[in-house]
Structures are given as structure tokens and as C-alpha cells.
Structure 1
Amino acid sequence: MLVFVVFGPVVDYLSVPRHPGLAAVLASGYLLAALLLFVFGRRGELRTQALVGVSIDLLFGILAIHALPVAGTGISLMLMFNIGAAALLLRTRYGLGIVLIAVAGLVGEFSWSVMAGEPDTRSLVEPVMFAIGYLAIATLTSVLGREMRESYNLAERRGAETAHLVEVNELIIRRLRTGVLLVDGDNHVRLANEAATLLLGDAGDGRRDLAIALPELSRRLAQWRSDGRSDENPLQIAPDQPEVVPRFTRLLAGSDQTLVFLDDTSLASRKAESLTLATLGRFSASLAHEIRNPLAAISYSVQLLEESHDIRPADRRLLEIIRQQGTRMNGIVENVLGLARREPAKPEHVELVSFTRHFIDDYQAGHPIELDSLRVTAGQPNIAVLVDPRQLHQVLTVLVHNALLYGRIPGEPARITVNVQIDKQLMPMVEVLDRGPGIPDRIAQQLFRPFFTTSSHGTGLGLYIARELCRANQAMLDFVPLPGGGGCFRIRFSAPTQPTKPPPTQERRGRTV
């Protein structure tokens, strides 16, 4: 506009500038400065650009007011917009500084004109009113600018927090053990988390159309969309993948996008097992009293019979077996209760070879094995471990009983060997080996799961309790298939604290536990 006033067609209708040469230089210089600021100023920070721009405006504007007194009022009014914009964009102290410079420039220019004796139709009231106006507009826009910056900073913080929450939600969804699929209205899979990708396997590899990747799941989704009913029967996605139960829900009300949750049935079964075990723990605590009462009566009756002199030696041996088994049953009840309450084991120094031999003698005395064979082998004469002898006795009872029951060729006697040795890592271990038909891999993977059994008469808790008792004693119980047929249940103990010989009472303890 300054160029238009100085060099435009309206110049003939205006008064002659006070300083024509200065007016031409100012108009040209101002235009050049504006172009340079427009070209290069956008590369810098907005506040820097505003500070430089308003400084140039004030410099050329006040000089233009002096050179063109006829346009001074208009230029002063236009500078009010520049000052207000600078106070809005800059910090408060910079905005007020710009206002003071503008007021000083207006008053200084007016004073210069008066002292120089140059003709001027303006009065002192005009620059004073403009100064007050500059202060008012700068104060107002400065307050607005401060609130705007605070709102901007708050929005940035909220945006960063929201972005962080979105990342956390995405991470949670990706790491969910439940498979999640996002299917649009065209039956295309838009998103799939890690669990869903693992469940889909090859079916989801590069195939985004649900009808092609998983036709049965697509059929169930179409049925749910049509009548709202969902088929909750397990779905086998692939032969080598676990069964899943699909659940459907809309992403948003009225949206055609559907979230598909693929619940792994094995996870659900493990949750049910955990609940069942918790219930079993509470049940065993209430049942212990009922079991111990008849056991106490049996034990008391046996003691009375043993005091009789009319008992034959063979019957007295039977009474001894009853007393031993009653004591052992009471120990089993205590171990189950300790397992349910997660009570720690009470380890002692045990000499494995002697302990195992006494265990076999006690087992054969209380469980006639007829034509079956049960023997002990040892790699060394003495192997010391730190273990709870009562719990070890219970574990060996479970393993030997299972070996005699299942580790045999049909029609042939069982051949069971309990081997005590030290492995290559110098860790003591006990192996219960049989020469039976072996255990298939699909069953071996589930042997130690609670309530898993292949027998119609079993409870599926024996091996589970045995492994838990081993873990309570810092030992590991695993199944190892034998190359020539048969199976091996291996108890691997932690290294003994010191390789001591068995204490004097060890032999007696091994016989009476």
C-alpha cells in the first residue's frame, strides 16, 4: 500500500510528500524487506519471524509517517494490527517491548517534526491516542496469546498422553493371549493381533479375505450378522492348531466392522483346572478331619490287636502292614493339604541308595507284586541329597504304582527298575524304568496336567501331585521315552549341600515312613 501511495496513480490527488526522496526509498526498501521476509522468513521459527517482521514494520512505518504526513493517520492505524499480532504471537515481555518502541517512535517522530519546524497538521493528541490504543490492543492480545499458548501446550500434553495410551492399548491388544481380528463389512481382515496370527497360521498368511482364509469362521460371522446368534462350538482352524471358540461384537454401534475374539479352549481348560484345584484345596481341608478320624480308629484298633497274645505270626505281620499303610495314608493326607496350602517341604539329608532299597522292601511287603519284578540298581554306593523323605516316599509310590499298572506288555509280567545314579552334571537322580509299550507323544505332553488320565478308574492327580512335591523339594520330575521301548520317569535333584553319609537313624526312618 505504501508503494501504491508513493508510485501509484493516486499520487496526483495527494499532497506533495514532505520528503519525496525519502518516501521513494522507504517504499522500495519496505517492499524488498517484505519480499525477503516472505521468502526466507518461513524457514525460521514463527516467533522469530513475528519479532523481525514487526520491527521492520515499526521502522519503515514511523519513517513513512514522517515522510508522508498526509498518510500518517492511516499508517498509524495499520500499525495497530501489526502490534496486536506481535503481542498475540510473542511472549508478554516482548509484546510490551514492541508497544513501548511503537509509542516512543510515534512521540519521537512528532517531537522531531515540531522541533525541526516542519509543517504538520497533526496535534499532540493524535500520537497520544494512538499510543493508548497500542497499549490497549497489545494488552488484550497478549492475554489472549498467553491463554492460547497455555491451551496449545495443554493440547500437546494431552495429545502426547493420548498417543502413549494408544500405543499401550495397541501393545496390550497385540500381546493378548486371546486372538483378536477386525473384519470389515466386505469380510476382509483389517487387523490381527499376535495371538490371532499364531492361531491362523498358514490360513492367515497373505489372505485378507475371511471367506478364503477361514470359511467356517466366515459362515459363523455371517450367521451372527443375520440373526445375532453365535455358534459356540469349538472350531479347529488347522490340524496343528488348538481349538478356538469365536465370539463376535461390533466395533461401534451402527458400524459394519466386527471384532472377532478367538478364545483358545486350552486356556479356558487351564483356567477351569486352576479353579478346580483351588476348590480341591478347600475341599481337602474340610475332608482331612473326616479321613483322619477313621484312620485314628484303625490305628488304635491295630495297636490293641498287637497287644494280644493270641495273634498268630502271619496275622501279626498283616497287622503291621495295616499300621504302616495307615501311617502312610495319614502322611499322604498331610502332603495333599500341604500342597493345597503351599506349605514348604521339610528337607533332610537322605542317602538315596539306602532309602530306595528300603522303599522297595516296604512296597513289596505292602503290595504283593506276584510275578512282576521290582528291583533297585545304583551307579554308586552312596548318593546324598537334601529332600523331604516323606514326600519322596509318596512320589516313588506313585511312580512305581503307575509303572506296575501301565508299564507292562499285555499278558506279560512287568519289569520295573528303580535306578539311582549321578548324571553328567553331577546331579543326583532317581529313575523309575519300565519295559512296557511306552507312552505316545500326544499323551506324554499331558501326563502332568491335573485331572488328565487315560484310565476310567484314575483321578489324574497322582503325577500332578508328584511333580508338585518334587518342585517343593527343588527337584524336577520328567518323563523320558526309552529308545528300545518302555518309559522312564526321572527325578532330578538339586546338588546336595554336602556329600555326607546317612545319619544313624536313616535306615530306621526309611523303613517306617
Structure 2
Amino acid sequence: MPLSDSSSRTTGISTVQRLYRAFMGARAALSLALLATQSLASLMGARPSSWAAWLSLLYGVQAVLAWMLPRWFGGGAWPPTPERQTLSWRQIVLSMGVDLVLFSLLQWLDPAGLSYGALLFMPVLMAGALLPRLRALACAALASLQLLAVAAWAVMLGLDSGLRISQAGLLGVGLFVVTLLANELSSRLAREERAARGSLEYARQQADLNRLVIEEMEEGVLVADRRGLVRTANPAARALLAEGATLRPGPFRLDTTPSWAPLLRALKEAYTEHSWPEAGGDVLLDFGGGLQRSLHVRMRFTLRPLDGDDLCVLFVEDNRHLEARNRQEKLAAMGRVSAGIAHEIRNPLTAISQANALLEEDCAGQPRLEQLTRMVASNVERLKRIVDDVMEVAPGIAPVPLVLALSPLVREYCADWAATQRLPEGDASPLRVEIEREHAVVSFDPEHLRRILINLLDNGLRHTRPGAASVRVQVAEQGAEWIRLSVLSDADPLPAEVERHLFEPFFSTRSRGTGLGLYICRELSERYGGRIDYHRLDAQHLNEFRLLLPRIAPSPAQETVHER
């Protein structure tokens, strides 16, 4: 396929148009050479045809103008778009067409003088390189017929007939050979160019993909040289190095900020030894004002020098995040182990409970033995609660959430809890339910919602001061996207040490507490896209556990769980 059929796309002018511009420059140079030949022949005493001189001058003007004014001679806007991979008819006529006509006229007007037949190789070569094969061969055929016609005309004039006919035949064959060779070379060039552009496009896509991956990485990535010049840094790395303001993507130098000096020293040390511990090392950045940041740094060096200088890729992470991730992984592993242990404990507990029930029947009327069986029953129930709590947060298949009308369910759960706790009714009740958003709709599992609310109510009642409305439950809007379910209790503020570990597993301030209640509340809320936090309302002397749930707009096709 010749270049004119290429479907490749690139920025700037296409290859066909660039070759066309090169041929137009060659035409301009050829026209000047033709004029110089005519002038030199006149100076040497030859008398060329005046028509040939005027045609040469006309051709020179047209060729120079076509080369200098591509916008007009190009048949459209210049430069052409990359999608324009073929020549317009105006370009074909004003280049190859003009050449064929003028060179043929020169041959006809001076059949016995200068041999202008060699000039026909210019339009034929252009056609072979820039046109499809059939059009290029048609151009060569026209030029060959013109040569044969001039030779026939010379025979009719009585000139050297044998020599003229043989010259015309050889030139015609040469024109066809040049056309085929130029077209074949053009086709190969087009294929190679398409392959190169395809590889370049693939490389660009790969580079864009790598850049996107690096930009989205949570781990900081910097590329620096031995002088401490950071060539590039992703957003995570810039956030770790920033003291407050956002850093530019790069380049920037590490020696411009005193707080980066430890990182620069580590980089130079790694360059000096050309190695760094495989597991990485820690670097402490001191930003002043008590702000410090401990970074875990891993370094890798490029295998080949780039521009005479090898580069170092630094992977930077905040040690706090590393420790938090390690803790999370340990908790997940511990959760899986605990779930397995809890599952194994469940069956023996059932057997112990049944055996204790039989002992209670046999120990009727024996106070000492009855006390022991009650102790066994109490501890069995406690172990059952621990097993249930562990199994609740163990990894497994999460239940499908339902679309819930929150307010009726909150009223129902609070009423059930108050009846279970045997709380007084009316104004003397320590529980008060305040619904500010009556038609709040959320997506949650109703049993998990009950578990969270009952757990928060138990904690609130356990630590509140005696009195009416000492525990309050509120349902309200929190902005445009959240529904707030709060449990408030009239109690002293939590100590800082307790607040810091409030939602951690197995942390409890009670000797008989499992330490899993609030941890389960947080795990269940996050399972449905919500979150739970503790707030101290000093102005009202209240402790608040605030559960935020994503607000949804119910559709008529969705089944909503209403108050039962």
C-alpha cells in the first residue's frame, strides 16, 4: 500500500504532505536549473527556441510559487490535518499534471535540441511515491506515450528515426521501472511507519497507564538523582514531604528545605554505597514546632544510566500508617482464629448448659448446690455472649441490607429495651426518644441495627446519672447525605485514656465486660457504609455516641420495613 493509502494518525503534518512539500522544493530547484541551462546555452552561442525559454520561465514561476504558497496550491487550509493522508486533485494537477504538460511541450517544441525527456522522471517519481499504484502507472503510461509521440514526430520530420525510437522505448521502460520501484519503496515505508507509530502509541498508552497507577498509589514515590534533584513525585509523596502547603509535582531540590536534610543524607549515602537495605530504613523529618514525621524509605536504582546519571526511585510511607496496617492485619488474623475457637466452644457450652439444667432439678431444696448451679448457668450465658460477639464480627458472608424506615424501628427497639430493663413509664422514665426526622430511610440489616442500638443503650444506662430523661435517643438529619442516630447520656466525660481505646477490641472498663460491644458496633456500622463516633457535649454535660448512616431516597419498587 503506498503512502497515500496510509491510515495512520499522528500529530503535525502527515508523511504524504511532508513528501509533497519536499518534491515541491525539488521542482523549484529543477525550474531554476532549467532556466540556468537555457541561459548558459545562449551564452555559449546556441540558439534555443524562444518558446522553450518562455515555457521554462513560466514553469519556474509556477514551481517557485507552488513551493512558497502551499496554502493556495494545497487546495485547502495549510498545514493540513494529520487525518489528511492523500493529495487533493488540485495538488496533483498543479504538480504532476503541470510537469507532464510543460515537459511534453518542451519536447515537442525542440525535438532536435536538448533532450527534455529525462525531465519526465520528476513527475513519474512523484506519482510513484505519492499516488496509488494504478494512478502512478497511468502517469508513467502518459509520459511514455508522449515520448513515443515525439519520436514519431521526429521520424516524420526525417530526423534520425532509429535512434529516436530506441531512445523513446528505453526511456518509457525506465519510467515504468522507476514508478514501480518508487511505489514499492513507498509502500514499505508506509508499513514501517504504521508499525513505528503503533509502537509509539502503545508506549504512550503504557506510560500514561504507569503514570496513572503511580499517581493513585497510597505509597509515596519519588524519582531523584545523586544531587538530590527530585525529577517527579506522586501526590502521596508530596503530602508526606509537605509541612502544610502543597508541593508542586517537580522538579525540586531536597537541599532547599532543612526538614528534608535527613532524607537527602540517606539518598547520598545510598548513592555512595550504591545500595540500600532491601527491607528499607527509617528517616525522621523534623518540621519544627513539635511536628515530626517518621518515614519508612525503600530505594531502588535504575539499571542503566539516563543522560549520563543513574536515578534512584524512593518508595516512602508514613510509619504510623504501616503500624496501623500491621495492627489491622493482626486483628484480622486474630478474628479468624477467634472465630474458629468460638465455633469449637459453642458445642461444649451447649452440653454444659444442658447438664447444668439437669443438675438444677436434682439439687432442688439444697441451697448450697443451687447457688453453684446458678453460678455455672451465669458463666455459661456469659461465655455464650462472648461466642456470639466473636462470631458476629468474624469474616463471612454479609447479609443483604434492607431499605428501612428508621424512625418506627427506633421506637420499637427502644420500647422493647425499656420493657426488658423494667424502666418506669411516662415522664419518670430515664429513656426519651426524640424523632426530628420522621421519614428517614436507610439501608441496613434490622437485626444488626437492633444490636447496635441496644448496645449503646446498655452503655448509656450503665454510666448515666439517675433521673428522668437521662438517656436520650435522637433521629435527625446530618447534612444532605447522612441520617444521625444518637444515644446521649447524662454522665461524666470519658477519661482521655479510655476515649483513645474506646472502639478497640477486648478493651473494657468493667471486670466482667468482654470489650467487644463498641468494637462490634463500629464493625457493623462500617459494613453498611456508616460510621460511629464518640462526642462530648460540654455545654449540655452529655456524652454522645453518634451513628451516621447514608441517607437514601426510597423508590416505589423497593420494599421498606415499617413499624411492626
Q: Shorter-chain-normalised TM-score: which range? A: 0.7 to 0.9
Counterparts of residues 118-157 of structure 1 (less than 5 Å)? 119=159, 122-157=163-198
- Using the TM superposition, give the Cα deviation of residue 322 of structure 1 relative to its aligned residue in structure 2, in angstroms: 5.2
Partner residue, 1:500 = 563
Moved more, 182-191 or 306-315: 306-315
Q: Name the CA shift for 1:240/1:335 in 2 (closer, same or farther; >3 Å).
A: same
1:21 to 50, 54, 58: 50
Instruction: Check the 8 A contact 1:422/1:429 in 2, yes or no.
Output: yes
Counterparts of residues 349-498 of structure 1 (less than 5 Å)? 351-358=412-419, 360=421, 376-379=430-433, 388-389=446-447, 392-393=450-451, 396-397=454-455, 400=458, 417-423=470-476, 429=485, 431=487, 433=489, 435-438=491-494, 440=496, 447-448=502-503, 462-471=517-526, 476-484=531-539, 487-491=543-547, 497=560
Instruction: Check the 8 A contact 1:76/1:130 in 2, yes or no.
Output: yes
Q: Name the CA shift for 1:388/1:314 in 2 (closer, same or farther; >3 Å).
A: farther
Q: Percent identity?
A: 25
Counterparts of residues 245-394 of structure 1 (less than 5 Å)? 245-254=296-305, 255-308=309-362, 310-311=364-365, 319=373, 323=377, 326-327=380-381, 329-339=383-393, 340-344=395-399, 351-358=412-419, 360=421, 376-379=430-433, 388-389=446-447, 392-393=450-451
Amino acid at match of 2:491: R
Q: Provide, for residues 448-474 of structure 1, a one-character-per-residue CA deviation record: whole Å limited to 9, x for no partner.
A: 466889999999754332222345578
Instruction: Check the 8 A contact 1:179/1:261 in 2, yes or no.
Output: yes
- Using the TM superposition, give the Cα deviation of residue 359 of structure 1 relative to its aligned residue in structure 2, in angstroms: 5.0
Instruction: Classify the secondary structure of the residue corresponding to 1:253.
Output: coil
Partner residue, 2:128 = 87
Instruction: Check the 8 A contact 2:230/2:253 in 1, yes or no.
Output: yes
Partner residue, 2:77 = none
Instruction: Classify the secondary structure of the residue corresponding to 1:161.
Output: helix
Instruction: Check the 8 A contact 2:363/2:370 in 1, yes or no.
Output: no
Question: TM-score, normalised on structure 2?
Answer: 0.70
Alignment partners' CA distance in 1, 2:378 and 2:518:
23
- Using the TM superposition, give the Cα deviation of residue 199 of structure 1 relative to its aligned residue in structure 2, in angstroms: 1.6
Amino acid at match of 2:97: S
2:270 to 212, 224, 244: 224
Instruction: Check the 8 A contact 2:276/2:299 in 1, yes or no.
Output: no
Alignment partners' CA distance in 2, 1:387 and 1:427:
15
Moved more, 394-403 or 187-196: 394-403
- Using the TM superposition, give the Cα deviation of residue 99 of structure 1 relative to its aligned residue in structure 2, in angstroms: 0.9
Partner residue, 2:140 = 99
Alignment partners' CA distance in 2, 1:311 and 1:491:
49
Instruction: Check the 8 A contact 2:460/2:471 in 1, yes or no.
Output: no
Partner residue, 2:95 = 53
Instruction: Check the 8 A contact 1:477/1:490 in 2, yes or no.
Output: yes
- Using the TM superposition, give the Cα deviation of residue 393 of structure 1 relative to its aligned residue in structure 2, in angstroms: 4.5
- Using the TM superposition, give the Cα deviation of residue 245 of structure 1 relative to its aligned residue in structure 2, in angstroms: 0.9
Q: Name the CA shift for 1:11/1:281 in 2 (closer, same or farther; >3 Å).
A: same
Partner residue, 1:37 = 66
Alignment partners' CA distance in 2, 1:402 and 1:150:
78
Query: CA RMSD of the aligned region, Å?
Result: 4.5
Amino acid at match of 1:134: L
Q: Provide, for residues 102-157 of structure 1, a one-character-per-residue CA deviation record: whole Å limited to 9, x for no partner.
A: 11221222334444x36456432221221111111101111111121222233223
- Using the TM superposition, give the Cα deviation of residue 198 of structure 1 relative to its aligned residue in structure 2, in angstroms: 1.5
Alignment partners' CA distance in 1, 2:41 and 2:530:
103
Question: TM-score, normalised on structure 1?
Answer: 0.76
Alignment partners' CA distance in 2, 1:452 and 1:72:
108
Instruction: Check the 8 A contact 1:338/1:344 in 2, yes or no.
Output: no
- Using the TM superposition, give the Cα deviation of residue 187 of structure 1 relative to its aligned residue in structure 2, in angstroms: 1.4
- Using the TM superposition, give the Cα deviation of residue 480 of structure 1 relative to its aligned residue in structure 2, in angstroms: 2.1
Instruction: Check the 8 A contact 1:480/1:487 in 2, yes or no.
Output: yes
Alignment partners' CA distance in 2, 1:33 and 1:118:
35
Alignment partners' CA distance in 2, 1:291 and 1:189:
57
Q: Does 1:4 align with 2:36?
A: yes
Instruction: Classify the secondary structure of the residue corresponding to 1:64.
Output: helix
Amino acid at match of 2:520: I
Alignment partners' CA distance in 2, 1:424 and 1:163:
48
Gaps of 5+ in 1: 363-374, 502-513
Instruction: Classify the secondary structure of the residue corresponding to 1:185.
Output: coil
Amino acid at match of 1:379: V
Instruction: Classify the secondary structure of the residue corresponding to 1:123.
Output: helix
Partner residue, 2:22 = none
Q: Name the CA shift for 1:158/1:474 in 2 (closer, same or farther; >3 Å).
A: closer
Partner residue, 2:199 = 158
- Using the TM superposition, give the Cα deviation of residue 268 of structure 1 relative to its aligned residue in structure 2, in angstroms: 2.7
Alignment partners' CA distance in 2, 1:140 and 1:89:
12
Instruction: Classify the secondary structure of the residue corresponding to 2:96.
Output: helix
Instruction: Check the 8 A contact 1:395/1:469 in 2, yes or no.
Output: no
Instruction: Classify the secondary structure of the residue corresponding to 2:243.
Output: helix
Moved more, 180-189 or 49-58: 49-58
Moved more, 135-144 or 148-157: 148-157
Matched residue pairs, number? 477
Q: Provide, for residues 260-309 of structure 1, a one-character-per-residue CA deviation record: whole Å limited to 9, x for no partner.
A: 22113344334334433442343134212432244224312331233135
Instruction: Check the 8 A contact 2:254/2:264 in 1, yes or no.
Output: yes
Partner residue, 2:282 = 233
